[in-house]
Amino acid sequence: MSGTDSGNGSGNGSGNGSALGDELTVAGFGVLGTWAWFLYGFGAILPLLRDEEGISRSVLGLHSLALAAGGAVSGVLAVPLIRRLRRRGSITVAVVLVCVGIPLLVVLRDPVLTIAAAGITGTGGSMLINSAVPALSDHHDTGAASVISLANGFAAGVGLLAPSAIGLTVGLGWTWRPAALLTVPLALGVLVLVRRVPRGTPAMDGTPGSAATAGGPLPAAARVFLLLVVICVGIEFCCTAWAADLLHQRTGLSTGVASSGVTAVVGGMAVGRVALGRLALRYTSQRLLLIALGVTGAGWLLTWVPTQPALVLAGLVVTGLGIAAHYPLGASLLYAAAPGQADRATGRLSLGIAVAAGGAPFALGAVADATSTHTAFLAVPLLVVAGFAALAASRRFGPPRRPAPELLAGHRPRARPGPLPDLPA
């Protein structure tokens, strides 16, 4: 598979397509869903944590920065760890880190300590994603774009529930902590799912990459798609980390009620990602990303201008619809442009995501302290423009191919039936 491919597989999978309900795919869905529960809940936790600790937005932003720094650590460790322990062992290490970091975040009260706990949690969470997404890509080969999109749609559906759960526990006087702690049993459940994956499954237990390509630099096309995904992740984290604060500041809603702002963004993402697999039957990944960036820009405008809660919430939903396509399609494009280098690409992507996921919300928070969250949200359209520029640069590598239609249509080429993952409706 050449570097001009659209991103519908890593190019080093089995090539025969894999059932959506097989053990590895179910485990991959479980990994993404578990991390989404914490990650999207984290955006709703931040303003509550700020009220508890009495800290500025800049200091609060250090929690997002620490979470992302954990992703950078995971990115550095990705290739050597996976080569030593394979993806199965890497997921086990990741679950241990998550199960240590989250209780510390819940129990500790000092900002320095909660920032450190966020870093531990971020390392484990990123390690989960660094193992699961390339495993899905290798396992499904040319159908990877649709499967990764469906997995992210499932994750967004799970993540949609987290801010609502936090709002519920806060309303009951239990604070946000019970909802955050639920991540621990979910992570332990991931270990059970991974244990069900047959030993010797190549995408889980094989040596990643090939001798010919694994040690070399990423192709030029992959580096452009890497930049594109990093930009898009910056957009997503700006919106999920600061949507609640923007809603509170613009509309006067209480901090607890304004946490629904994150639910609006994630709800849009869930709907968008469920629809994405079908849309990919008719349109190329690059074209869908072009449309998605435009939808994100329109959603930002609808969010930024009005002061009525209903209109701001509607804008956040539209923004989420646009964001929905960013990571799944961008990651698929990246893996397809780096055949045989899925784990190396993931390591580079994890470092880039660390910069975007930590740096963009932190910078937005610093500007918000100096001006207002409303003014700081001008960062979103700037990132959208940068995304358009990166997407335009990717066109020089040729027209992308579409994902395998038989997978998008629900056909299962391999006759080893299993239950479909419980996807959001």
Count of CA atoms in the C-beta half-sphere (13 A) of 210: 10
Domains assigned to the chain? 23-396 (1.20.1250.20)
User: In this predicted model, what pLDDT tens digit does every residue of 264-295 receive, in sequence order?
Assistant: 888 888 888 888 877 876 788 888 999 999 99
Q: How many CB atoms lie within 10 A of CB 110?
A: 9
Say if residue 125's pLDDT is above 60.
yes
Decide: 272 and 323 in contact? Cβ < 8 Å: yes
Among 197-206, 272-281, 372-381, which stretch is predicted with the lowest mean pLDDT? 272-281
pTM: 0.71
Query: What's the pLDDT at 181?
Result: 96
Say if residue 418's pLDDT is above 80.
no
End-to-end CA gap in the chain: 33
Decide: 379 and 364 in contact? Cβ < 8 Å: yes
Query: What's the pLDDT at 11?
Result: 36
User: In this predicted model, what pLDDT tens digit does every residue of 59-79 receive, in sequence order?
Assistant: 887 888 898 889 888 888 877
Residues with Cβ < 8 Å from 395, sequence gap 6 or more? 286
b/e sequence 31-54, b meaning 16+ C-beta within 10 Å:
bbbbbbbbbbbbbbbbbbbbeeee
**pLDDT > 70 in the chain, percent:** 85
Distance from chain centroid for Cα 51: 27
Query: What's the pLDDT at 19?
Result: 59
Cα–Cα distances (Å) from 238 to 139, 179, 340, 376, in that order, read 32, 22, 32, 10
Query: What's the pLDDT at 293?
Result: 96
Residues with Cβ < 8 Å from 84, sequence gap 6 or more? none
Structure tokens at 42: 């984290």
- For the segment 86-114, the average pLDDT, to the nearest whole number, is 94
